Chains A and B, each alone.
Chain A
């Protein structure tokens, strides 16, 4: 196990992380003490680390703190490590307990709403598609669109039968027993995989870090493996003003190239007028288990994001991440859509 105490020892108190933290900006340090306090300062007082339980679950793991840290301190990892250390079943937040119960009951982080059974998708192609809980059980359009797009470009994807939640939400709530259990379960199902494609940047990132696999997000797959030249878009007379949200886990844990790819794909689409929001990389509030743990904070961040989108006259806000769509979708305007869903709509 990494020595997080030593790894976060390089802090020089520049305050960059605090200035960039979206939760502090919305909630204030009296409610959320922030990345430096939780990831760097508190772990030094080891026996008293439980003292951070009152606010450590408010971090959305947007990863901005590490991005701006001049010492490159792994602050989000340190925060997750503290969550792991203080985890105890009896003191879980209500929303987090629901996640654990859903895992036990359904193998999903959310209660399945969809009984439409596409589990036994047995494509002959070399690509394994891993749907993820939200795409399959909540915003099913993402699941359908992803399969749709993969089909349209000639991949013949297969979905592992009996797949379960990748485990990313469990890392966020600190429940490593369940995380390990899910990983073991999934690895047995991933036999004969070939290329792995995922809809959710959270899944992508988790499969890389914890399963030692090399999955591609759907956007990466489209751009790198399929190629823009092979994408044929339907003609469109009406122009729609579209803004692109940069999901934290896509832009920062996978890489900014994925966002570049998304822009490139959008440029190919007729009838799309791209408008740029202020700070498109600002966290929407969907990550870190905050939607379940502190729905009010998630909503506050979403409200702020939607305001920025409205400010530039966006009619549609695209987000290449099911959790972002889930959280932002709680608000009315502008319309929110997952990126691949939009691509599918317009792809021949």
Chain B
């Protein structure tokens, strides 16, 4: 996210930019985040600097990125067992950091959110919102491209050639075909999130940071209509976020050693459900459809997990002997634009260029009203409006003109075949999960049970890869998030999918028994 934001910021200022992303965009912490646009309330007591940043940036993003933001508002609720004095601490903290907060009665809270536990003892309304991190990243990417930036996915940085205190050449691998390319940039920006230390070490430098892993569980349906937070010191299972057709419950915090450690801890899943139930009792009966883990990079400093400040740091490695390397580490999704601004300011200074940041006011995509089309059901059009910003015009046209564009491809998420066709024809879309991230195909409760074949069918028209390979790759990637929630309705769903896959296409043996 940060990388895309910087690329856009610099491109808008007229700089020539190339962005290299190791996997698909929003692969790192971004795609594994909670999808929260923080009001700042969560940090009001413990991390005032972050709280202030969130309060300001939240308002800014709602102006420039409204196309991918569901401005739901948020609640902080204390349950009977929680510390009753915390609410005062909280309100003071908010007042001191510019976070808008208004205390309301339990009755009001329950009328706003009928599924809340009747044990609510204190409630505060805040300006949280739900943001789609994939759409946000892609919006930045496309806007940067419109300004001339070259943005490449599936390119992994392999080596820095450092000479005379400068990175002379960056060698990177095209993961799609294994070829190596290189580029000779004036400045290298290390915005690789949790991999920042790994990348810095390519230049012989280190960035002290710890890796923290958190688990999130996705539930079917919007169980709450606004973000619901626990009114206490930040802890596990504090937050429920409504996002599109789902509710995301999170999170946990464990220090881990490896930046690639995305394994979901099953006991975390249980913990999240039991904590979440205390705010929304019906969570017990809700259907968990997926779990995922994200690794967050936290700046070093000797502290542990939740005690580390969530704010960011821009590092100019000139002081450490590499003149043209800048790293940006830490921070949150909510403040990405600010991080990008500060980083870009530094870069412009280093380049000796003039040019002010305009990202605080320049919309990423023009907000539009949903279209109506004759003889066409309304729902898919509304969904496209929620997902695509001003790109929806072209996508809808594609759906109407393509031979099969109007067919429903993903019934859970109401996605049309034309949407998949639009993205599959893109050069940077190579895997089925790339299509998924852009269209939400497969993110619903059946977790691509049927639409996986339709996705492969569309992709076939644009790719030389065997559809079975595409399908196998997608299933293997997704399995990590499927397994931890194999209970209840999702277990039944997966059993049915086995019959489907084995009975019709015999996927199990064709994929060498590795599919699951």
Asked if A and B touch directly (CB within 8 angstroms), the answer is yes
What is A's interface to B at a CB cutoff of 8 Å?
Answer: 1, 3, 5-6, 9-14, 29-30, 33, 36-37, 41-48, 51-55, 71
Query: Is B458 part of the binding interface, using a Cβ–Cβ cutoff of 8 Å?
Result: no
Report Cα–Cα, A287/B114, bound state, in Å: 32
Report Cα–Cα, A41/B444, bound state, in Å: 9
A10 touches B492 (CB 8 A): yes
Report Cα–Cα, A42/B444, bound state, in Å: 12
B196 smallest CB distance to A (angstroms)? 37
Task: Known pairs A47-B70, A51-B378; list 4 more (Cβ under 8 Å).
Answer: A6-B285, A12-B493, A44-B445, A71-B492
Partner of A46, one of B225, B408, B492: B225
Interface band, chain B = 35 or more
Query: Is B198 part of the binding interface, using a Cβ–Cβ cutoff of 8 Å?
Result: no
In the complex, which residues of chain A have a beta carbon less than 8 angstroms from the beta carbon of B375? 30
A181 smallest CB distance to B (angstroms)? 23
B273 smallest CB distance to A (angstroms)? 14
B496 touches A12 (CB 8 A): yes
A11 touches B445 (CB 8 A): yes
- Contacts A3-B115, A5-B221, A5-B223; A10 near B489 (Cβ below 8 A): yes
Nearest 4 Cβ contacts at the A-B interface: A9-B287, A44-B245, A44-B221, A51-B379
**Hey, what's the 0/1 contact readout for B481-496 against A, CB within 8 Å counting as 1?**
0000000010011001
Residues 432-467 (chain B) with a chain A CB within 8 angstroms: 444-446, 449-450
A41 touches B286 (CB 8 A): no
In the complex, which residues of chain A have a beta carbon less than 8 angstroms from the beta carbon of B244? 45
A9 touches B379 (CB 8 A): no
- Contacts A5-B221, A46-B225, A47-B225; A13 near B245 (Cβ below 8 A): no
In the complex, which residues of chain B have a beta carbon less than 8 angstroms from the beta carbon of A44? 220-222, 245-246, 444-445
- Contacts A46-B222, A52-B379; A9 near B449 (Cβ below 8 A): no
Report Cα–Cα, A6/B496, bound state, in Å: 20
Residue of A nearest to B70 (CB): A47
A7 smallest CB distance to B (angstroms)? 9
Query: Is B42 part of the binding interface, using a Cβ–Cβ cutoff of 8 Å?
Result: no
Residue of A nearest to B381 (CB): A51
Query: Is B282 part of the binding interface, using a Cβ–Cβ cutoff of 8 Å?
Result: yes
Report Cα–Cα, A29/B408, bound state, in Å: 10
Partner of B282, one of A6, A45, A52: A6
Report Cα–Cα, A54/B378, bound state, in Å: 7
- Contacts A3-B115, A33-B379, A44-B220; A13 near B450 (Cβ below 8 A): yes
Residue of A nearest to B406 (CB): A30
Query: Is B386 part of the binding interface, using a Cβ–Cβ cutoff of 8 Å?
Result: yes
Query: Is B174 part of the binding interface, using a Cβ–Cβ cutoff of 8 Å?
Result: no
In the complex, which residues of chain A have a beta carbon less than 8 angstroms from the beta carbon of B286? 6, 9
Report Cα–Cα, A50/B474, bound state, in Å: 34
A17 smallest CB distance to B (angstroms)? 12
A12 touches B411 (CB 8 A): no
In the complex, which residues of chain B have a beta carbon less than 8 angstroms from the beta carbon of A51? 378-379, 382
- Contacts A41-B414, A42-B379; A13 near B493 (Cβ below 8 A): yes
Residue of A nearest to B447 (CB): A13
A–B pairs, 11, beta carbons within 8 Å: A3-B115, A9-B286, A9-B287, A11-B489, A33-B377, A37-B411, A42-B379, A44-B220, A44-B246, A46-B225, A71-B492
B446 touches A12 (CB 8 A): yes
Query: Is B412 part of the binding interface, using a Cβ–Cβ cutoff of 8 Å?
Result: yes
Report Cα–Cα, A29/B444, bound state, in Å: 20
- Contacts A29-B408, A36-B411, A52-B379; A3 near B282 (Cβ below 8 A): yes
